[in-house]
Amino acid sequence: MTVRSFLLASLASLGLSQAAFAHFQLIYSPDTIIEAPVELPLKLVFWHPFENGHVMDMGEPLEFYAVHRGETIDLKDRLAPITFTGTGNSAAAYDATVPVKRSGDYVLVLVPAPYYEESEDIYIQQITKSYLNRNEMPTDWTEPQGLKTEIVPLNKPTNVVTGSTFTGRVLSNGEPVAGAEIEVEYIAAAPDMESNKTLAPTSAPMPGGPLVAVSDDAGYFTFGIPKSGFWGFAALGSGPETEFEGKELSQDAVIWIRAWDME
């Protein structure tokens, strides 16, 4: 059991809400299927988008890049600090752009600076991937990116069908992670790309606390997708690094996918 899992269980035993622990790092664009060449705007926000809750301050990312046809496109010089406002507070976040030119997949990778969560007295680092595609040509989405920890999709992440399932595999230094606790998140309140504020939520979190899956002995997990939109999966403490600046570190793997209703 990870430190965060233990803290969640302790809170539950006291009858306290676990919702505040569903931290999720976003790499967000409302457009994931691209037709024409574009400098695509992005939002990087550390937030609770299912409950439209608290926004956390982001430090300057350690790495931010896209992988396209196996080649890395460094995006750090495209980052611009912003203030993002949720329903209850404002916090430091980032704008960015990614050049989407040739056909194929664009795997967006963010390695954020560790965030100190005072209520848990630990650091959290959510190494995050999201996906874009131009012209329906598959090129990169099936490949691991060699991250310290990551979730590799087994379904094409830009067009999962609502009512079907999504399967991912949790890796740490390229090796499968058995028994990883995976929190599941939905972007019920999307970021407004113009105002740097939240839009009105389209649904509310389920009762009973965060949605959770657990990886099997080979690192695989499967989740049924009940609603169209953006779904996130965070494997808590799946990374190899467990300490930062003398405190516990939860090094998490995060992946975002896009689900669509059938016409």
Percent of the chain with pLDDT over 90: 84
* Predicted pLDDT of residue 2: 52
User: By three-state DSSP, how is residue 10 classified?
Assistant: helix
Query: What does pLDDT average to over the chain?
Result: 92
Buried b (16+ CB within 10 A) or exposed e, 137-172: eebbbeeeeebbbbbbbebbbbebeeeeebebbbbb
Is pLDDT above 80 for 62?
yes
- Tokens representing 135 are 């012209």
Give 80's contacts (C-beta < 8 A, 6+ positions apart): 94, 95, 96
* Predicted pLDDT of residue 40: 98
pLDDT tier at 4, thresholds 50, 70, 90: low
* Predicted pLDDT of residue 79: 98
Percent of the chain with pLDDT over 70: 92
Backbone φ, ψ for residue 9 (5° rounding): -65, -40
* Segment 192-248, tens digit of pLDDT: 999 999 998 889 888 888 899 999 999 999 999 999 999 999 999 999 999 999 999
| Domains of the chain, earliest start first | 3-260 (2.60.40.10)
* Predicted pLDDT of residue 1: 46
* Predicted pLDDT of residue 204: 86
pTM above 0.75, yes or no: yes
Looking only at the bridges linking them, the beta strands covering 175-176 and 220-224 are unpaired
Q: Tell me the C-alpha distance between 106 and 61, whole Å.
A: 19
Left (φ > 0), alpha (ψ -120 to 50) or beta: where does 175 sit?
beta
